[in-house]
């Protein structure tokens, strides 16, 4: 027996060695080889390697006479002979099921009539992985128990090693696969991240560019540390170097114009303490003392508990916009003022036209009323008043038209050469009757033939007649002196009287339209109040100016300054 | 014969109005500003006062207000004259106690129709 057993052992080892030296594609093929070896040496026609998972018995590999048992077949563990192998974690041997009363009703016996059986657990890492079992429909000798158990356990152990190696290999493969997948995922993520980062950088770059273009800077204030953090543009607006870092908050406030500091302080306090955001324009002075306008926005950022931790906002240089706004505002004001002046002019004009018309209509009606009993003298007197008012109305209308023409730029300068004596000869006969009316004297000095002038003769004459007539109206038994002298390239002419003069507060207004007519319409001193306005405009056209000095009760002096010659170039300049 | 005080600063209007009223048989006294008008009103009795609203120094409305607050003068009948034909001015004049309001240039027919009933009522 020993010799036979020994021989068997040697053969078995040789078989195992052979199997181990072969290369298999899968562990199932290895298992099959072992089963064939077992079948051959044990003389049992059924051989199965199983995997036991909980109460299931899964066939991993099998040899059977008609191949009726296939890998993948699954049975309930308790319906197999291996039930005891797994339960007791040890080899189980039966040589004759039919002679065992406890086993003769076993489902396997009933179904397949298997009389003999040897099965051993396959331990992997101390756990029952499955079983290796051989069985036969033939009864076998009880005496073969020890050999079969020994060899089956031996095969089980070798199988366990093969399965384990395979598992390890599979595990490595699985892990490799998993790693590959993980790697792919990571690579994918990395790619996405890179794209996002690129986009982010692009956005950030764009945002930064936009900030620079729009002169918007971001800032943040940490409530706990009172630390400020500034974006580059914020430094730029303050005229500070980013290298030096932001100033402390109280110093930063001082960049606001003095009258703005309280306002921004109030805003910041409300923001830090009450979480109120703010958005407003402020006057600002940068480190280089440049006056600027900024648009400031701030908001409070709260933590999860609702505590204000950060104040952040933006800061924009809106100086250009503000300046434009101011310019528009100014133009609007000018336009409005112009419009108001115009309306006022129309209102005064209609009032001034009404005055002589009132007299014309009034006296005409009076004549009608009194015609039955009126004397010729009375009638003549009334008709004279009508005529006088009519003439006055004519003057007024002409002067209004003159002013309208000047304003429309339709009055041009007609230059001619003449001497001052010619000018005196032109105006003297016109002025004399008015001057004599109140027993005044008219004296000309310096109006010499030697002084050649190249200017607008008609306008100069009109101005002088107007000034002399004015002087004559407000002077009685006095002297009206017209003095002219040449100073360099300029001509200076003054018209002086020793009449009633004017109060100081009236002086700066007398060149304004209708100024004189603020006072009452009185027969002798009547004037349209437009004469001096026209004089001033004419002087401007001739590149000169007019001014007045006066002392109440002592008289007035009107002084004209104008170039002796209006050059061609000057002539071309339109004077509004 | 009713006695009228004309308070008017414009010379032409003074003459036109005075002659018109005299032609109707009224006795007319003239004051060229508010102060002179008040002085006259304190010393003489008038049946009616025709008063221009825009006067130098003191406006016609001020004169009316002063009279209305003085119990010796509060009975005086005032008819306001003004070139400013504005509804608000008219209401203001009537509000402070003027009996009537006539717009300049004066329509004499309308003026007579306005003052005659006031004078008749008085007598």
Decide if A152 contacts A120 (C-beta within 8 A). Answer: yes
Cβ partners under 8 Å of residue A252, min gap 6: A228, A238, A246
pLDDT digits (tens, 9 = 90+) for B76-111: 999 998 776 566 778 888 899 999 989 877 888 899
Q: Which of A351, A369, A523 sits opposite B20 (nearest CB)?
A: A369
Asked whether the beta carbons of residue B12 and residue A357 sit closer than 8 angstroms, the reply is no
Q: How far apart are CA A143 and CA A95, in angstroms?
A: 9
What integer is the mean pLDDT of B40-45?
Answer: 94
Nearest CA in chain A to B13: A359
Q: What is the structure's pLDDT at B85?
A: 57
Evaluate the CA torsion angle A492, A495, A501, A507 in order and state its sign: negative
Residue A423 backbone dihedrals phi, psi, to 5 degrees: -65, -45
DSSP alpha helix (H) spans, A138-292: 145-214, 232-238, 249-253, 261-274
With CA atoms as reference, the chain B residue closest to A388 would be: B12
pLDDT of residue A525: 44
Q: Which residue of B has its CA nearest to A378?
A: B19
Burial (0-12, 13-18, 19+ Cβ within 10 Å), A550: buried
User: Both tokens of residue A14?
Assistant: 């040789």
Please check whether residue A358 touches B, CB under 8 A: yes
- A475 to chain B nearest CA, in Å? 21
**Pick from A357, A359, A365: which is nearest to B108 by CB?**
A365
Q: Residue B21's pLDDT is what?
A: 94
User: Residue A48: what pLDDT?
Assistant: 93
| pTM, entire model | 0.49
What pLDDT was estimated at residue A24?
73
* CA–CA dist A241, A246 (Å, integer): 9
Query: Which residue among B10, B13, B23 places its CB closest to the CB of A370?
Result: B23
Tokens at residue A426, please?
């032109």
pLDDT at position A462 is: 93
What string of DSSP letters covers A98-167? GG-TTTTT-HHHHHH---EEEEEEEEETTEEEEEEEEEESS---GGGHHHHHHHHHHHHHHHHHHHHHHH
Cα distance from B15 to chain A (closest Cα, Å)? Answer: 9
Q: What is the pLDDT of residue B123?
A: 63
Is residue B65 within 8 Å of B95, Cβ to Cβ?
Answer: no
Q: How far is A550 from chain B (nearest CA, A)?
A: 24
Q: Is A520 on the interface with B (CB under 8 A)?
A: yes
Give the closest-approach CA distance of B106 to chain A in angstroms. 8
Q: How many CB pairs under 8 A join A and B?
A: 41
CB of A375 within 8 Å of a chain B CB? The answer is no
The rounded distance, in Å, linking the Cα atoms of A134 and A40 is 11
CA A37 to chain centre: 85
Q: What is the pLDDT of residue A575?
A: 44
Question: How, if at all, do strands A74-76 and A479-487 pair?
Answer: unpaired
- Can you tell me the distance from the alpha carbon of B55 to that of B48, in angstroms, rounded to the nearest whole number? 18
What residues of A are in contact with residue B108 (Cβ under 8 Å)? Answer: 365, 369
Yes or no, beta carbons of B13 and A362 under 8 Å apart: yes
Closest chain B CA to residue A521: B10
| ipTM higher than the 0.95 cut | no
Each of the 576 residues of chain A gets a pLDDT tens digit; together they read 445 667 777 777 788 788 777 777 777 777 888 888 888 888 889 999 998 888 889 898 899 988 888 888 889 998 899 988 999 999 999 988 888 888 888 888 888 888 999 999 999 888 888 999 999 998 888 888 888 888 888 888 888 887 877 777 777 777 788 788 888 888 888 888 888 888 887 777 777 777 777 778 889 888 888 888 898 889 989 999 989 888 888 888 899 999 999 999 999 999 988 889 999 999 999 999 999 999 999 999 888 888 888 998 988 888 988 889 889 999 999 888 888 878 877 877 777 788 788 889 989 999 998 999 989 999 999 999 999 889 989 988 888 888 888 888 888 899 999 999 999 999 999 999 989 999 999 999 999 999 999 999 999 999 999 999 999 988 999 999 999 999 999 999 999 999 998 888 888 788 887 655 444 433 444 567 788 989 999 999 999 999 999 998 899 999 999 999 987 555 544 443
Q: Report CB contact under 8 Å: A362, B16.
A: yes
Burial A170-191 (b: 16+ CB within 10 A, else e): eeeeeeeeeeeeeeeeeeeeee
Q: State residue B86's pLDDT score.
A: 64
Chain B CA closest to residue A382: B16
């Amino acid at each position: 027996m020993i010799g036979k057993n020994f021989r068997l052992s040697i053969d078995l080892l040789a078989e195992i060695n052979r199997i181990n030296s072969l290369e298999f594609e899968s562990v199932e093929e290895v298992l099959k080889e072992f089963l064939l070896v077992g079948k051959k040496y044990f003389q049992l026609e059924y051989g199965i390697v199983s995997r036991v998972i909980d109460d299931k018995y899964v066939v991993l590999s099998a040899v059977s006479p008609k191949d009726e048992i296939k890998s993948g077949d699954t049975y309930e563990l308790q319906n197999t002979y291996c039930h005891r192998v797994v339960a007791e974690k040890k080899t189980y041997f039966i040589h004759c099921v039919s002679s065992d009363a406890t086993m003769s009703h076993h489902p396997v016996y009933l179904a397949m009539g298997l009389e003999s059986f040897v099965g051993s657990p396959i331990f992997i890492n101390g756990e029952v992985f499955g079983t290796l079992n051989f069985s036969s429909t033939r009864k076998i000798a009880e005496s073969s128990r020890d050999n079969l158990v020994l060899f089956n356990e031996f095969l089980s152990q070798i199988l366990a090693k093969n399965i384990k190696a395979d598992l390890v290999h599979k595990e490595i493969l699985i892990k490799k696969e998993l790693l590959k997948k993980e790697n792919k995922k990571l690579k994918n993520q990395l790619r996405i991240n890179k794209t996002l980062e690129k986009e982010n950088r692009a956005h950030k770059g764009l945002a930064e560019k936009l900030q620079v273009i729009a002169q918007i800077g971001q800032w943040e204030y940490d409530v706990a540390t009172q630390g400020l953090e500034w974006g580059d543009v914020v430094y730029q607006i303050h005229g500070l170097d980013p290298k030096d870092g932001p100033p402390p908050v109280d110093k930063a406030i001082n960049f606001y114009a003095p009258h703005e500091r309280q306002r921004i302080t109030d805003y910041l306090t409300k923001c830090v303490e009450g979480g109120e955001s703010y958005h407003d324009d402020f006057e600002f002075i940068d480190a280089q003392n440049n006056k600027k306008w900024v648009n400031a926005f701030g908001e409070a950022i709260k933590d999860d508990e609702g505590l204000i931790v950060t104040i952040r906002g933006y800061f924009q240089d809106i100086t250009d916009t503000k300046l434009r706004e101011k310019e528009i505002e100014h133009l609007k004001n000018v336009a409005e003022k112009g419009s108001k002046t115009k309306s006022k002019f129309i209102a005064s004009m209609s009032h001034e036209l009404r005055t002589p018309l009132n007299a014309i209509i009034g006296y005409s009606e009076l004549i009608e009323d009194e015609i039955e009993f009126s004397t010729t003298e009375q009638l003549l007197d009334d008709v004279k008043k009508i005529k006088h008012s009519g003439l006055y109305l004519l003057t007024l209308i002409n002067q209004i038209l003159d002013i309208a023409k000047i304003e429309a730029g339709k009055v041009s300068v007609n230059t001619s050469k003449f001497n001052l004596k010619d000018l005196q000869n032109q105006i003297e006969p016109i002025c004399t009757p008015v001057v004599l009316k109140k027993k005044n004297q008219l004296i000309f000095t310096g109006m010499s033939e030697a002084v050649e002038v190249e200017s607008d003769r008609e306008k100069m004459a009109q101005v002088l007649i107007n000034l002399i007539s004015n002087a004559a109206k407000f002077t009685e038994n006095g002297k009206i002196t017209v003095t002219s002298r040449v100073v360099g390239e300029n001509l200076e002419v003054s018209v002086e009287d020793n009449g009633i003069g004017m109060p100081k507060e009236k002086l700066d207004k007398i060149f304004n339209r209708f100024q004189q007519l603020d006072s009452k319409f009185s027969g002798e001193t009547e004037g349209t109040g437009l004469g001096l306005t026209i004089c001033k405009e004419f002087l401007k056209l001739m590149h000169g100016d007019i001014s007045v000095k006066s002392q109440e009760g002592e008289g007035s002096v009107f002084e004209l300054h104008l170039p002796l010659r209006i050059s061609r170039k000057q002539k071309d300049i339109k004077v509004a | 014969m009713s006695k009228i005080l004309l308070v008017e600063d414009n010379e032409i209007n003074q003459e036109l109005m005075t002659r018109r009223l005299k032609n109707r048989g009224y006795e007319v006294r003239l004051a060229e500003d508010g102060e002179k008008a008040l002085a006259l009103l304190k010393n003489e009795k008038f049946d009616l006062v025709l008063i221009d609203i825009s006067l130098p120094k003191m406006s016609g409305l001020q004169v009316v207000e002063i009279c209305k607050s003085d119990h010796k003068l509060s009975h005086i009948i005032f008819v306001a004259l003004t070139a400013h034909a504005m509804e608000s001015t008219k209401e203001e004049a009537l509000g402070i106690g003027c009996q009537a309001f006539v717009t300049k240039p004066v329509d004499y027919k309308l003026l007579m129709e306005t003052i005659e009933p006031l004078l008749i009522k008085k007598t």
